[in-house]
Every structure is written in structure tokens, then in C-alpha cells.
Amino acid sequence: MRLLDGVITRLLGGTVDALVAEKLAERIEQLKLDALYRPRWHGDRARLHLADTAVVNNALFNLSGGTVTVGEYAFFGHDVAVLTGTHDIERFGRERQLAITRSGRDVVIGDGVWLASHVLVLGPVTIGEHAVVAAGSLVRDDVEPYTVVAGRPARPVKQITRTAR
């Protein structure tokens, strides 16, 4: 084995153990990085409709109360949550946990929408095309196209004028 280790060290620049440890460390770091770019969902995945060009990073989609549609070239910052689910506040204990509205709380996120990091979207809402939602905002109402909203709850702060470039 020492002879083999010597050959490998000369050819590859390290012992087998060191090379394996190095590759494992690289892979662990890649897996951590991948988690930043992998969406999560709760509920029926078939209720999530993501355009191929959308970038949603590590968003959380709760699909228990409706569908979520994300349009072309929409993009999300990190830790965005889009929630269709809700519970009946008039119920208590286990009954409240199980009292979930199963439909009618759809979320539509239009083409070119930017949801910055830590945005929370509560359905049912529609965010119009090319709107921008500022970091940390809470969206409870529809957002008009080409509008910048901010705050908790999110309120319009600016209209975007489309200019030719």
C-alpha cells in the first residue's frame, strides 16, 4: 500500500486519503450553496407553476390553499415565502390545525416581477407584471403592474416608467 500511496502522491499530488477528504469537503460546500438555489414547497407540487425562466432561489411555496403561478423572468431574492394556506381562527386545538382552506387562495406573480429577499406573500393576490416588492415587505393585496411596493403591509411607493434602452 505504501508503494501505491507513493505513486499516487507523485502522480496526483497527495495521498488517497487527503484527495478523498478534499473532494468530500468541496462537495459538502457545494451542497450548502445548492440549498440557496433550491425552492421548497408544502402541499401538492402540481399546484406550483414556475416558468422555465423564473429564478426563485430558496423560496418556500405553501400550496395547501390554492395554486401559485410564477411568470417568465420573474426573480426572487432569498427567503421569500409565498403562502396560499390559512387556518380557521374560530376553531381551537387540533381542530384549528386541521381546518385548512383547500382552494381559492391562488397567487399569481406576473412576468418580470422582482420579489426582493424576505418578502412574504399571502394569497389570494396577483402581483402584476414587472412590479417590484421591496425587501422584507408583506404583500396582502394585489399589486398593479409596473409598481414598486414596500412595507408591512406593502403599499405603493413608485410607478415604474418603461423606457427604451
Catalytic residue (choose from 42, 78, 87, 130): 87
Pair 148, 115: CB distance under 8 Å:
no
User: 87 catalytic, yes or no?
Assistant: yes
Per DSSP, the residues of 27-71 read: HHHHHHHHHTT--EEES-GGGEEE-TT-B-TT-EEE-TTS-EEE-
- The cell numbers describing 84, all together, are 396560499
Total residues found in the chain within this entry:
165
Q: How far apart are CA 130 and CA 110, in angstroms?
A: 7
Could you give the residue numbers annotated as active site?
A: 87
